[in-house]
Amino acid sequence: MPLLQTVRNELPEVMVYLQESSGTALNDKLLAGQLDMAVLYERSPVPVSSASRC
């Protein structure tokens, strides 16, 4: 996977964990702060509070 290889090469201190789940479950975990990022397809934009932005 090119993304994971790039992260490993450029940011060796960063740990990436992949979790496969339904869009609804990932969306809920993202909004609850249990995930930093989610890749969702065929979904409307997810509202993000300004406090959770980097």
Note the Cα 21 to chain centre separation in Å. Answer: 12
CB-CB contact of 46 with 53 (8 Å): no
Q: How confident is the model at residue 2 (pLDDT cuts 50, 70, 90)?
A: confident
Task: Over range 28-54, report the average pLDDT.
Answer: 74
Domain range annotation of the chain: 2-52
Residue 9 has a pLDDT of 96
Per-residue pLDDT reduced to its tens digit, 9-33: 999 999 888 888 888 888 888 889 9
